[in-house]
């Protein structure tokens, strides 16, 4: 619908690419993720910084939007994620995300897009698929785009492919995300431009964004991955730890913008 298309454009610049800040870690990993730069445990502080630095969009859970939604200026896309899990759960229940709020709640908080995770290959894949179907059907009815964090993980994946970052697994997840109605896909780095290009192809035109991953010691190492993603036809990146675990996130955000939107060489972008 036109509503979905218009709202999607709030995240992407004219080049069709986006740099989005992720901040659901306090719930998903626990507040220890903020210990490297403790003042960033305060969502208002870090969101103000990333917005000032020129980020295109931000992703958060509903409660963080209640606390810090005012910091997200109207020209910045707001993505509200409706599923999560804590790291406190028993290990055999870690392969499931539960719904902690509803599409209506996200809309009331001013969301431009709704986000939800699916662990493809999980023993609870069936429940997660149903959860995603309910979210996507309701959100689409109201004209809201849905972002799927398509994260394949599960015992059979490890047995058959060795690791969840194997491109055959990642592109399978991206394809399943596209086929289940996602308007944007967020997924893992596959290790090379050639393999990531296949992930992009498998998504059949649905924009694919990189999921940041753990902070790299050297910022250039992360910029290089994002550069490869862009060269592979990826639509940008959703980045958490590589931003908020840095004392001053601004240079990293500015460098990421140069790489994502100007295809700038990572070494040059890091120096600028």
Binding site for ligand FBP (CB under 6 A): 22, 24-25, 28-29, 149, 211-213, 238-242
Are the C-beta atoms of 95 and 155 separated by less than 8 Å? no
Q: Which residues fall within 8 angstroms of residue 143, CB to CB, at 6 or more apart?
A: 1, 2, 3, 4, 7
Cβ closest to ligand FBP, residue 40 vs residue 141: 40
Cβ closest to ligand FBP, residue 69 vs residue 240: 240
Q: Which residues fall within 8 angstroms of residue 167, CB to CB, at 6 or more apart?
A: 190, 191, 192, 195, 196, 198, 199
Q: Which of 13, 37, 18, 2 is nearest to 79 (CA)?
A: 18
Q: Clarify whether 186 is annotated catalytic.
A: yes
CB of residue 206 to ligand FBP, shortest distance in Å: 18
Cβ closest to ligand FBP, residue 82 vs residue 239: 239
Which is catalytic among the residues 81, 164, 186, 224? 186
Cβ closest to ligand FBP, residue 29 vs residue 254: 29
SS3 percent helix, strand, coil of the chain, rounded to 5, is 50, 15, 35
User: What 3-state class would DSSP assign to 73?
Assistant: coil
Cβ closest to ligand FBP, residue 14 vs residue 217: 217
CB of residue 235 to ligand FBP, shortest distance in Å: 16
Are the C-beta atoms of 164 and 95 separated by less than 8 Å? no
CB of residue 67 to ligand FBP, shortest distance in Å: 17
CB of residue 49 to ligand FBP, shortest distance in Å: 16
Q: Which of 67, 68, 129, 59 is nearest to 99 (CA)?
A: 129
Are the C-beta atoms of 223 and 254 separated by less than 8 Å? no
Q: Which residue has the CB atom at the shortest distance from ligand FBP?
A: 212
CB of residue 1 to ligand FBP, shortest distance in Å: 27
Name the residues annotated as catalytic.
Answer: 186
């Amino acid at each position: 619908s036109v509503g979905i298309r218009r709202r999607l454009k709030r995240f992407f610049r004219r080049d069709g690419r986006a740099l989005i800040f992720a901040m659901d870690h306090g719930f998903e990993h626990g507040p220890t993720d903020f210990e490297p730069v403790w003042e960033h445990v305060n969502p208002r502080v870090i969101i103000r910084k990333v917005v000032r630095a020129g980020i295109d969009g931000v992703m958060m859970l509903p409660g963080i939007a209640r606390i810090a939604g005012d910091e997200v200026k109207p020209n910045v896309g707001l993505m509200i994620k409706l599923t999560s899990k804590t790291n406190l759960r028993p290990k055999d229940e870690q392969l499931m995300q539960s719904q902690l709020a509803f599409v209506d709640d996200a809309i009331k908080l001013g969301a431009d897009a709704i986000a939800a995770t699916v662990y493809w290959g999980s023993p609870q894949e069936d429940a997660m698929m149903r959860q995603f179907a309910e979210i996507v059907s309701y959100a689409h009815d109201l004209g809201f785009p849905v972002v799927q964090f398509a994260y394949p993980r599960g015992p059979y994946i490890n047995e058959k492919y060795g690791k969840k970052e194997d491109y055959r697994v990642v592109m399978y997840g991206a394809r399943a995300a596209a086929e289940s109605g996602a308007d944007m896909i967020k997924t893992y780095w596959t290790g090379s431009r050639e393999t990531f290009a296949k992930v992009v192809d498998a998504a059949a035109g649905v924009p694919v964004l990189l999921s940041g991953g753990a902070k790299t010691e050297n910022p250039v190492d992360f910029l290089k991955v994002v550069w490869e993603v862009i060269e592979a036809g990826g639509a940008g990146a959703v980045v958490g730890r590589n931003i908020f675990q840095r004392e001053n996130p601004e240079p990293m955000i500015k460098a990421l913008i140069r790489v994502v939107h100007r295809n700038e060489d990572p070494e040059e972008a890091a120096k600028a």
